[in-house]
Structure 1
Amino acid sequence: MEELRKLEQLQRTLTFMQSRNFNSSSSHDSNRFLASLILLLISATFLEEASEWVSLEADEKDSQENDNVELNSPPDKRDCGSLQINREEVAMVGLEAMERANSTLEDFCRSYFMFHGMEINIPQMVFRYLPVLSFTESYIYQLDGLNEKITYIPTEGVTALGFEKVKHHGWAADVFEKDPFRPLLNVLECRGLLTERIREELSSGEEYWALERKLCCALMCKMEISVEDVMRAIHLKSFDYRVLNLLLYQLRGEEVNDLHMEFLSVSEFLVEISDDLFTQLPNDIMILQDDVLENSFNILRMFVKIYGPSRAPAMLAKYITDAEEKYENLLKALNPQLSSKYQRRCEEATKEGGKISGHPLGTWSIPPVIVNEDLYRSNCLKY
């Protein structure tokens, strides 16, 4: 009866995944794996036992318990029982965060695995490292969702640092005042995966969210912003990709390739700008419009505030040109086979996304700017 109950739960989870378009396109086995992972993560018994287990003293743990929780961990994995972790510091992620993280994980695997000599079309390679990568990205997305609640049309309580507590989301703001990555750091340290570079990149994530709050609040409150803050934010924005990439080096027991990291950092910068400028015809779907309505960070929004609507496109084009030159120089330094493979991947991603602009596929297209954001939002509320 117990096995039958488990099969029934698995089938219900598969049906739910299908209804939310969460199924993997690869195989039935992949979908069963995802369904099993979801059941594990939402299991109340699992969460309760995990919470109790990580808070125990080292001398209360025996080797049998360590064997039960060890899942494809590196050889030098530390004893989690030696870490003093409060129940409040146990890292957990929700299904919604996992769903939001899914597209980023797919893009990461298809775009970054090649820099590790890994083939995306070999399921064993993907699923060997997927639990850690998925959990980490989902945790980041969960925090990002809380940050969005804070930045969404702030109306009161703005401080000099731009860190406001909107009346109904003060609890979300509190999360960022209490070392938000501490639970995730505990997990990575427990598994022997935490490095100083990973810690620094996660700190960059906190800095990005703080800058996003500061800049977006400044726009809403008609305050001045600096181009230094804007450029710092756009460079930090892809911190999650760098965290995943550094984790993959750790999981595979390899030294970090600094040339690859530098090249990908420039590529990430260009992709972030391209995403902010994305416009899709004939449906006239504009990211800039959505970002204005939701008060989200968008580099074109910021440049319009700093330079005005007439100068903003030209100033942004200058930054793009400088980054493209650096991109081309680093691209030439890569292994020719890797270089060609990555360029093909960029072409695939651009076609799949329906973009008509963006590096490295030709000319850039900067959409019409929104000169008066207050008027634009007011007009949108009428319909």
Structure 2
Amino acid sequence: MEELRKLEQLHTTLTFMQSHNFVPSSTLDSNRFIANLILLLLQPCGELNLDMKFRLLSEYLPKISVSFLEEASQWIRFETDERDYQEVNDPSGKKDCLPLQINHEEVAMVGLEAMERANSTLEDFCRSYFMFHGVDIDSPLMIFKYFPVLAFTESYIYQLDGLNEKILSIPTEGDTSLAKEFEKMNYQCWAETFANMLEKDPFRPLLNVLELRGLLNDRIREEFRSGEEYWALERKLCRALTHKMEISIKDVMRAIHLKSFDYRVLNLLLYQLRGQEVNDLHMEFLSVSEFLVEISDDLFDYEDDVLENNFNILRMFVKIYGPAAAPAMLAKYITDAEERYDNLLKTLDPQLSSKYQRRCEEATKEGGKVSGHPLGTWSIPPVIVNEDLYRSNCLNTE
């Protein structure tokens, strides 16, 4: 997590440099060096303010020669893996000039932005899933009894998802060399760093928190593994589209089924929080409902997902089946899922079934969607045959 935070800061600094036409070199390494220098100057260091730091730099920089640096390299054991400061011990106890001596990869933390992004999902979860637990959505006491754990968990997931989105983001095309450098950074540095993070188990800090509270079980662990698998498939499939490579329908359908893993995590956590056994019939029904909702969302967000290079089932079907056949093939999957949904809906308690259908109607109206199930009508948007041309045209009209 800490390495990704540093890369995000570097990416933001490079963007700032570009906005001020401050691009000192055509090479990625040179620009990254200057960006890192700017970040170093911005780091807090005791009572030094920016003016004092600038004066120190102006005074001492002329005294630093190549020979001085070569001699310094003999005195200082320099690690080249860019894990700056992480293993430094300060015997004086003064850590003003160093980051806090905390292993951030071991501590579950969420930022305000992640909490804000998770808010709509949490609202939908409470309004759509609490009824399956007999929890009154109109009772603040009941909601806030479970909300802290649910909110923290969903925010943590959104935080990781946001980092994954940065890997998938397509840099703005243009004549500047920095735009090309962003592309290299997104598809090489970010991808490699995130892959390394996945190997270290990105959910481990969150799992530790849940385990300490006696909320973790094998089923919840499996859903978190599903989340890791979804992000890996999303990167694989979206990169394949970017590089005009073939993709498989097996990977696409696996990804769309995994995509709602966070809802299943929250649902299983709610069972744990309430000390209740999991209702497998409800889980199965909601899984089919989640599948249809994900397709509905993908159709609604299709154009945006093309622009941002996000996973979208229609994008994938266009690649696999071609623009002419893709809508019909997707409609077949929708029809099959609707039939299964209707069959499972009949097995629910009539009162719960009626309540859930009213909630679906509310969600459809609130979202302004014209596609959905079972209360709306499906509408597949016109497919985008040439995504590169579409992005270019959108860019030129901004």
Same fold by TM (over 0.5)? yes
Structure 2 residue 316 is the aligned partner of structure 1 residue 302? yes
Structure 2 residue 394 is the aligned partner of structure 1 residue 377? no
- Give the SS at the match of 2:346: helix
Residue 140 of structure 1 aligns with an amino acid whose one-letter code is I
Contact 1:165 1:173 in 2 (8 A): no
Structure 2 residue 348 is the aligned partner of structure 1 residue 334? yes
Structure 2 residue 306 is the aligned partner of structure 1 residue 289? no
Structure 2 residue 262 is the aligned partner of structure 1 residue 245? no
Query: What is the distance in 1 between the residues matched to 2:374 and 2:276?
Result: 29
Structure 2 residue 374 is the aligned partner of structure 1 residue 360? yes
Query: What is the distance in 2 between the residues matched to 1:128 and 1:374?
Result: 48
Query: What is the distance in 1 between the residues matched to 2:221 and 2:341?
Result: 26
Contact 1:149 1:169 in 2 (8 A): no
Query: What is the distance in 2 between the residues matched to 1:319 and 1:169?
Result: 32
Residue 170 of structure 1 and its aligned partner are, at CA, apart by: 5.3
Q: Tell me the residue number matched to 2:215.
A: 193
1:105 corresponds, among 105, 114, 122, to: 122
1:318 corresponds, among 311, 327, 332, to: 332
Unaligned runs of 5+ in 1: 1-84, 159-163, 279-286
Equivalent residue pairs, number? 287
Contact 1:188 1:194 in 2 (8 A): yes
Residue 152 of structure 1 and its aligned partner are, at CA, apart by: 1.2
- Give the SS at the match of 1:333: coil
Residue 153 of structure 1 and its aligned partner are, at CA, apart by: 2.1
What does the per-residue CA deviation read over 1:113-132, in whole Å, with 9 as the maximum and x for residues that have no partner?
00000110000000000000
Residue 315 of structure 2 aligns with an amino acid whose one-letter code is R
Contact 2:370 2:376 in 1 (8 A): no
Q: Tell me the residue number matched to 2:286.
A: 264
| Identity between Structure 1 and Structure 2 (%) | 82
- Give the SS at the match of 1:382: helix
Residue 281 of structure 2 aligns with an amino acid whose one-letter code is L
Query: What is the distance in 1 between the residues matched to 2:386 and 2:306?
Result: 10
Query: What is the distance in 2 between the residues matched to 1:254 and 1:176?
Result: 32
Residue 345 of structure 2 aligns with an amino acid whose one-letter code is L
- TM-score, normalised to structure 1, is 0.72
2:143 corresponds, among 106, 109, 126, to: 126
What does the per-residue CA deviation read over 1:97-149, in whole Å, with 9 as the maximum and x for residues that have no partner?
00000000000000000000011000000000000000000000000000001
Contact 1:309 1:371 in 2 (8 A): yes
2:227 corresponds, among 205, 209, 216, to: 205
Contact 1:111 1:342 in 2 (8 A): yes
Q: Tell me the residue number matched to 2:166.
A: 149
Q: Tell me the residue number matched to 2:25.
A: none
Residue 366 of structure 1 and its aligned partner are, at CA, apart by: 0.3
1:276 corresponds, among 275, 283, 298, to: 298
Query: What is the distance in 1 between the residues matched to 2:182 and 2:320?
Result: 24
Structure 2 residue 106 is the aligned partner of structure 1 residue 92? no
Residue 220 of structure 2 aligns with an amino acid whose one-letter code is I
Contact 2:110 2:156 in 1 (8 A): yes
Q: Tell me the residue number matched to 2:94.
A: none
